[in-house]
Structure 1
Amino acid sequence: MSPFPPIESGPDGYVRTHVSAGVGRIEFHHPKSNSLPSAVLQELAATVTAVSRTPDVRVIVLQSGGSGPFCAGASFDELAAIEDRKQGQRFFSGFAGVILAMIRAPQFVVTRVHGKAAGGAVGLIAASDFAIAVDKASAKLSELAVGIGPFVVGPVIEKKIGLAGFSQMAVDADWRDAAWCERHGLYAEVHADVATLDAAVEAKARQLAAFNPEAVARLKQVCWAGTEGWEALLTERAAMSGTLVLSDFTREAIQRFKTR
């Protein structure tokens, strides 16, 4: 059972938190397939940072609401409305903010993947320390198909699954099933249904919350070594996407995706 009380999602979505027994849970939701507009990205980054600084939180669980996709990635409505390079860079920097908040948190981040993940969502999964998914949770990097590329999420995905796996996902912008994702290390575990998934997430969260926080923080530093310059790198990558999204090719491709 979810620790969050039932709540109606407004048109702009939500980000909610719940802290209990050393576990800080963060849930995001958007009515359009859990897509991520700028407002939700900024709130999610700020929430991850705030929860990571809460003294009694020893592990963070990231999840999305609803029973559909885990996350559809960037908001196509907002992509279509971008008018200049600065605005584009700001939008794509939103994904950078969440990724950096996750990998800089001193606690392990466990991500619950209950459904499909596309585009920027794959970056969020890769930025977690332990992702647990259901077997229907296919994933894809759809950016190339709409005229841009997985530039901002690329570094964290490559670090998680290696250059070969990242290249396969980036070049062939089609779905990879959960078994592929587990085999390449994007998912740590895959379960048959949501009930089993939730039991596994609960067990892992309890286990990690019992570990020495200092040891966990140091291990995270070891695991994410080499990311110290990512603030600048991801800003540069956001500028790439922010420029490409203005091209006629990309604008036409986004409109086609919106009308599907």
Structure 2
Amino acid sequence: MTPFPPITSGPDGYVRTHVADGIGRIEFYHPKSNSLPSAVLQELAATVSAVSADPAVRVIVLQSGGSGPFCAGASFDELAAIADREQGQRFFSGFAGVILAMIRAPQFVISRVHGKAAGGAVGLIAASDFSVAVDKASAKLSELAVGIGPFVVGPVIEKKIGLASFSQMAVDADWRDASWCERRGLYAKLVSDVAALDAHVDTLATTLAASNPEAMAMMKRVFWAGTEQWDTLLAERASMSGTLVLSEFTRNAIGAFKAK
């Protein structure tokens, strides 16, 4: 079971941490399906960086609150309010910040996926080193359906599951079931329910917390070799999304999506 207190209602969401026995747990939450507005993205990136710098932490677990979706991706309220290209680039750079913090942490990052994952959430899962999901945790890249594309999260998803599978998700922006995600490597392990999810994550995290941190850090560098220039790459991709989100087509698509 997670060590966090029950969720209290609030409009802005949160990021919480808990460190014990070598395990650093990070939980994010937003009342709108765990969507990610800029404030939560920035806090999440800063929290991952801070926890990864703690010498007491041997492994990191990333999870979200509630019993609904794992994460609905970008905040559509904030997308609709973007007024210029610079603001758009800043928003999409928030996803880049979280991804870079995750892959550059010297510890392994385990993602605990208790529900559906859409859009940018797929990028966060791909940026983890091991992900455990319930068998109902379908996933999709929804960006094209609202007039943009999975540009910022694309590199990390492609590295995790390969170009062919990434292209399938990006072009056909529909749900993929958890079994599809496991076969492609987005999910490393599927379990039947949340109780089994917590048990597996806790067992794995405990094992890794007792493992050689130097060996794990070296393995991490091997896993993410070739990403050294991603600061520049992801900034360029954020600019692409920041430009597209201002187009009439995209504004209409986002408006229609919000009206559903």
- Corresponding residue for 1:93? 93
Give 1:10 deviation, angstroms: 1.6
- Corresponding residue for 1:220? 220
- Corresponding residue for 2:130? 130
1:107/1:213 contact within 8 Å kept: yes
1:9/1:30 contact within 8 Å kept: no
- How far apart in 1 are the matches of 2:199 and 2:22? 17
Deviations 1:23-57 (A, max 9, x none): 00000000000000000000000000000001110
- How far apart in 1 are the matches of 2:59 and 2:161? 23
- How far apart in 2 are the matches of 1:96 and 1:2? 27
- How far apart in 1 are the matches of 2:56 and 2:35? 30
| Partner amino acid, structure 2, of 1:230 | W
- Corresponding residue for 2:108? 108
SS at match of 2:48: helix
- Corresponding residue for 2:208? 208
With normalisation by structure 1, the TM-score equals 0.99
Identity across matched positions, percent = 82
Give 1:2 deviation, angstroms: 2.1
2:7/2:65 contact within 8 Å kept: no
- How far apart in 2 are the matches of 1:139 and 1:9? 26
2:7/2:66 contact within 8 Å kept: no
Give 1:6 deviation, angstroms: 2.0
- Corresponding residue for 1:190? 190
- Corresponding residue for 1:140? 140
- How far apart in 2 are the matches of 1:28 and 1:257? 24
| RMSD of Structure 2 on Structure 1 (CA) | 0.5
- Corresponding residue for 2:161? 161
Structure 1 unaligned segments of length 5 or more: list them: none
| Partner amino acid, structure 2, of 1:259 | A
Q: Mapping of 1:49-128 within 5 angstroms?
A: 49-128=49-128
- Corresponding residue for 2:24? 24
Deviant stretches of 4+, over 4 Å:
none
1:70/1:113 contact within 8 Å kept: yes
| Partner amino acid, structure 2, of 1:217 | A
Give 1:259 deviation, angstroms: 1.1
1:52/1:105 contact within 8 Å kept: yes
1:119/1:143 contact within 8 Å kept: yes
Give 1:5 deviation, angstroms: 1.6
Give 1:62 deviation, angstroms: 0.1
Worse-superposed segment, 109-118 or 204-213: 204-213
- How far apart in 1 are the matches of 2:199 and 2:132? 10
- How far apart in 2 are the matches of 1:158 and 1:93? 18
